[in-house]
Amino acid sequence: MGELPAIPGMAQLWHHTVGDDRITIAVIDGLIDAKHPALAGAKLTPILDLWPGGAASGRKAAHGTAVAGVLAGRHDGPVPGVAPGCRLVSVPVFAEGLRTSQLDLARAIDLACDAGAHVVNISGGQLADPSEAEDVLARAVRRCREQGVLIVAAAGNDGCLCDHVPAALDGVLAVGACDESGRPLPSSNFGPGSQLQGLLAPGNDIPVALPGGGVGRMSGTSLAAPIVAGVAALLACLHLQRGGKPDPLAVGELLRATADPCIPTTGPDGAEPADQGTGSEACARYLNGTLNITKAVTAVTTSSATSSATPSADTAAPSPAGAPDALTLLGQSAEAVLTLSCQSGPQPGAAGGCGCSAGEASLPAPAAAASAPTAPTAPTFATPAPAPVVAASPISTGVVTSAEQAPSGARRLVYALGSLGYDFGSEARRDTFKQLMPHVDAGGHSVPGNPYDPRQMVAYLRENPSEAKPLIWTLNLDLTPIYAIEPVGGYSPGVYERLVDFLERQQLAEDNTAFVDRVSVPGTLPGRTVRLFNGQHVPVIEVNLNRGLYGWSVASLAQAVVDCGVPEHNQRGQAGTPAPSGATLNDAVADFLQRIYYDLRNFGATSRDRALNYAATNAVQVRETLAEALGRGMALQNIDTEKSPYGRPDSDCWDVKLRFFDPENGKRAKRVYRFTIDVKDVLPVTLGPVRSWPEA
């Protein structure tokens, strides 16, 4: 049986600490039943501003509740958790009847970072090679690594030499599952990425909390991952106890370094089961080794400091509490999205969710009817009342202590770039537009209006401006909706008029000076979502002013920058290099904009991303920079954003840095150009002149 107190070294770790509320663990999973007896009094903060809430019921909520119980179940409750004293942040990215994309997962990771997570647990993923991970997901993982946040992700339960993302992405601690004897579960994945940066942890027959107060048992990498995440959080707590600064990334490296390595067997009489092979083949299933809590605790307690160096397809064994006998959470859809499916396979009409039979989908009875395991002999732990529901990254209210909570209902600013679209939300609304739109002439024949034709829609909205409100206006990255735009307040008619104008200009020929292929949308996230016609839920941006709502094309914006003229002091170029021509400067500005749109595309919800997006819309700001750099014979290498050391009182200032290099002389020093942007307000603003210096 996979009792947590029986895991070697766990009792020793609990002797030192059962958690500290200064350490935060983010759970990116399904909804969590916070009323479960195992989580009573847990310091749990749900982030519900980007996904629909509702009752914590169904298979995905069962998965989320199980993972949360393994992480933070109180020690005097029915299901003891690894780190009940740590603070938990729930980001429910998996929901019944919905498909979860890599883009959604990236958004959830960003929210976890904004919420101050030290450790992020992701008991899910998509069966894919690391090179197949979408750029937005890879960037979110990279951001965590840059900010010192440890991501712990399940390796997956396909039982193959295959990788899951994000587990296989660089910097993530991948976790496979083993039984009580330390042998890999046959279902645990062992792809090259997981072998490089992963380890095994107990994941067989683990006691879990289930919605409605029930208790069951589950097996798989989804349960092994929170065990490792909880241990990592407790080791970070030990750093705090000893007066050090928590370094989750160093803890992750420590867990890998102290894992017990596999010792290859050489024959059929070895210790390995016949179905897992022998020698190096069998050891591949062990990844970097098996979790050794005792070694890790000893390393921390004997050292003054350590320097930084589809939800998974899990199975639930039958339990007296009536837990589901099959709880598979597997990401493998043809549309390259993260989905959940039952072991018996999706049923017709499942709409991307689990279509199980009534018997499989039934949840256990309340705790009173459940057969709870015997309470462990670990220290009991009492926690205060749960934290309120708050936004992940509210508008700053000044410097506060880490124990203070953000005000309830605080809204996040957003400054997003993309293309404009519209949606109906339902067949009834679509048919209403079709009924009301006038007939059009097609080859001499009168045919009903087509609400999907943007040109016809624009003509209809010009005649009937009030009809713009029933539409769901969307902001898209490429063809994927990421936000729903909702004008509010007294200026909403003007905002709708501007949206209709942008939609019309998007239909023009690209060489038309009025053509628009990008819009900027500044606003706030009120914490609501809208369901689109295809079933996708997207967060709402509320826009209450025309200010900052711009539309442009790359070609037109680049030409506008060129029309401003090359700065006089750069008209002769540098070091004998001729001054850049208008065409050269035009190409350079276009390259800069395309870099932000496609290489650095983002949701515009973090301060860093808002500063970067504003740099794109305010391209005239970079005109002088590009002109001077091109005059020096240099080319753009990369674009960085970092927190500015300069900050006015009650500001949020970020430096956008453009780094240039000499493509013909690699030994020549690079040159950095920096301008500062304050993103405190809905519409960001640039501060001071552009600064420049050479960089070795």
Catalytic residue annotation: 29, 63, 222
Nearest in space to 363 (alpha carbons), one of 204, 206, 220, 213: 213
Helix and strand numbers (H, E) in the chain are 17, 25
Sequence-ordered list of residues with C-beta below 8 angstroms from that of 58, at least 6 positions apart, any chain? 30, 96, 211, 353, 354, 361
Torsion of CA 47, 51, 54, 60, to 10 degrees: -90
Question: In the block, which residue shows the tokens 């749990």?
Answer: 44
Q: Which amino acid does the sequence have at 50?
A: L
Other beta carbons within 10 Å of 534: 10
Across 391-409, b (16+ Cβ under 10 Å) vs e yields: bbbbbeeeeeeeeeebeee
User: For the stretch 90-115, what's the b/e string if a residue is b when 16 or more beta carbons lie within 10 angstroms of its beta carbon?
Assistant: bbbbbbbebbbbbbbbbbbbbbbbbb
Query: Cα torsion at 608, 612, 613, 619 (round to 10°)?
Result: 160
Give the CA-trace dihedral at 631, 634, 636, 637, to 10 degrees: -160
Q: Are 218 and 209 in contact (CB under 8 A)?
A: no
Give 86-114 as a DSSP string: SEEEEEEEE-TT--B-HHHHHHHHHHHHH
For residue 569, the 8-state DSSP code is G
Rounded-to-integer distance, Cα 651 and Cα 121, Å? 32
How far apart are alpha carbons 450 and 435 in whole angstroms?
Answer: 10
Distance CA 311, CA 222 (A): 7
Determine the Cα–Cα distance for residues 45 and 346; give it in Å rounded to an integer: 32
- CA-to-CA distance for 195 and 156, rounded, in angstroms? 13
Which candidate, 272, 269, 294, places its Cα nearest to that of 281?
272
What is the Cα Rg of the chain in Å? 27
How far is 19 from 381, CA to CA, in rounded Å?
Answer: 9
Burial grade of 470 (CB within 10 A; 0-12, 13-18, 19 or more): exposed
Report the side by side order of strands in the sheet with 206-210.
Answer: 206-210, 214-219, 315-317
